[in-house]
Amino acid sequence: MADISEERKATARENDANTDRRDFIRGAAAAGLLGALSSTSALGQPVPQQGAVEDPLAPKGLAPLGMLDYRFPMSYETSVPAGVRILTQYFAALSRRDLKGMAETLHFPFASYEGTDPVVVQTAEELMAHAPASMNMTENPERYTDHDGYLEPGSYDAFDSLEVITADPISAAMSMVYYRYAKGGKKILRCQGLYTVTNNDGKWGIQLMSTIFTPADMMNVVYEDTITAAKRLRIDHDLSFQVSDKSVDHSQQLGQIASVTNGTVQVFYQREKGNMDPYRIRGVKSRLQVSENTPEKLAQASQPTTPADYAYYRVLFPNIKVGNWGFVYGVLPETRVIHATVDKAHMLSGAIRFTASGNEGNFNRHLSVVTYKKGRWGMAGSFAYIAPHDRANDML
């Protein structure tokens, strides 16, 4: 995982070419539902890719100091239909109460945010023995454990919606909502989830997920404090770069953190050879990173004396010939808390970087989980970090 403090995040106002991104990706998702499902075997498993696994090559037009962005179709044309296929397969298996079929759609190790903490499952055998609460098929689960469950005899699930939120050549991050009904047809629960599907060594599978289960009677409650707190955390993180002071950034959550990483942040900073390194496939067995944030670790990270890269950060823009760095905003025009409850939020945000004259230089989107533990809001798991537009590619 790339911790928030390690990410040097960027986001900018979407240009005209990206204005209809979400509508386009919804359309691509629909196409994936119709066409990509044929890529599964009779057992519901993904059909293995034929031949040697090859890493994607840099597309024509990618600048030597540029980042891969959404002008290049390779950012979405494979990952979006693959992600939709896998998540659809996962939900179909869940609806059938087929834990083995669900396991076939996962990468191991795998992690799921159950409540405010990630549950890490190392193997398929471990999943079968102690499934996380949102995946547990047992109708009498062990209460107050990390494998508690939400089933009652005769209940069934009904699909509601699926949205592709971000994509790059090796991953797709999605939101899925479904409802759970009691045997007699009464709606009892809503499940709102985030899922990141990745390509690891040629196989597509779910690497990380997070779910929010809400009783039907509570579905229309709006958690304004959760929404405000989540957005402020992202803003404060980037504000530390604006004012060159790490002590204003208290964005990270304490405890165990599970994230999916691909190295995009490092490419933003390096701006040299290796701009396709985040999208390696061959030999990659896992993209899950699990770490522990202790009070001591976070206190040290927020010290003003901690070595910072503010000077290097600011010189990036003239180095890539987009102009002098001027402003960074830790909020996007399309920032939104996708799902929220009393102690958790799924948020799409990021950071916009502008030149001193107000022109966009670079921006990123960041899909994350925000949690509330022991009176403290904090950024937890990172589900995706991508750059929809990088002006370095326009400065060839």
Strands 360-373 and 187-200: unpaired
**352 CA to centre of own chain:** 18
CA 176 to chain centre: 13
Task: Look at residue 216 and tell me whether its pLDDT is greater than 50.
Answer: yes
| Backbone φ and ψ of 4, nearest 5° | -55, -40
The 10s digit of each residue's pLDDT in 265-279 is: 877 877 776 789 899
Q: Are residues 68 and 62 in contact, defined by beta-carbon separation less than 8 angstroms?
A: yes
> How many C-beta neighbours within 10 Å does residue 109 have?
16
- The model's confidence at residue 313, banded by pLDDT at 50, 70 and 90, is confident
Q: pTM of the full predicted structure? A: 0.84
Chain segment 22-37, per-residue pLDDT in tens: 443 344 444 343 343 3
Domains 4-13+221-394 and 18-218 share a fold: yes
Question: Closest by alpha carbon to 237, among 335, 168, 316?
Answer: 335
Domain locations along the chain: 4-13+221-394, 18-218
Average pLDDT over the chain reads 85
C-alpha–C-alpha distance, residues 129 and 149, integer Å: 13
| Domain 4-13+221-394, CATH number (from 2.60.40, 1.10.150, 3.50.30, 3.10.450) | 3.10.450
Could you tell me whether strands 325-329 and 344-355 are parallel, antiparallel, or unpaired per DSSP bridges? antiparallel
Inter-residue contact 290 to 320 (CB < 8 Å)? no
> How far apart, in Å, are the Cα atoms of 26 and each of 30, 171, 374?
6, 16, 38
Q: For residue 303, count CB atoms less than 10 angstroms from its CB and return exposed for 0-12, middle for 13-18, buried for 19 or more.
A: exposed
Q: Which CATH number fits domain 18-218: 3.40.50.300, 3.20.20.370, 3.10.450.50, 1.10.443.10?
A: 3.10.450.50
